[in-house]
Amino acid sequence: MSINLAVFASGSGTTLQAIIDSIENKKLDAKISIVVSNKPDAYALKRAEKAGIPTYIISSKEKENIDNELFEHLKNYDIDLIVLAGYLKMIGDKLLANYRIINTHPSLLPKFGGKGMHGMHVHQAVIDSKEKISGVTVHFVNNEYDRGNIIRQTTVTVLPTDDAESLSAKVQAAEKIQLIEVLNDFSSGKI
């Protein structure tokens, strides 16, 4: 069963690209109906346009208004699942009540999660804490940053020679593989 996705992204869109590529290569039975961003200059929007996927840029600034704006806009699509792929805004109650929403996070939650813990901030915190293992978590989204029920985690080894950038590269590679596996589980009805 194909799933209909909305992908929310605030940055470069490498995770979005992994989803696009997996759909095109028939490794994922899904359709991305819309890509949403809170940043008009997010490269994710260019990736979506290149793939022929409609885009939407959020115009509201306050959380409640963003929630209402997105809810009204997404009603135009038959969305089965919202994927947060590097989206850096809190999701509002109306979206939470009406959609299944998942997020990818670049650490093994609950470690190194919460407000402000994204991207290189996470990887630097892992390095500074001298962790031996890091990884990626896919979880359901709730009304607290990085606190929703965990769907799946994949570990990567943190080597003594790693810095935040090299750790980021390992985590991103694992993240893309894991997310496609999770999306396939949604498509097959396992989740």
Q: Which CATH number fits domain 3-107+137-153+171-187: 1.10.10.10, 3.40.50.170, 3.40.50.280, 3.40.50.150?
A: 3.40.50.170
Q: How far apart are the first and last CA of the chain?
A: 12
Q: What are the φ and ψ backbone dihedral angles of 131, each rounded to 5 degrees?
A: -65, 150
Look at residue 89 and tell me whether its pLDDT is greater than 90. no
**Model confidence over 19-53: pLDDT tens digits?**
999 999 999 999 999 999 999 999 999 999 999 99
Q: Which residues on neighbouring strands pair with residue 152, listed in sequence order?
A: 138
Residue 123 parent element (H or E): helix 119-128
Band (pLDDT 50/70/90 cuts) for residue 139 is very high
Active-site entry in 73, 105, 121, 123: 105
Q: Is 118 a catalytic residue?
A: no
In 3D space, the residue among 97, 105, 98 whose CA is nearest the CA of residue 121 turns out to be 105
Band (pLDDT 50/70/90 cuts) for residue 88 is confident
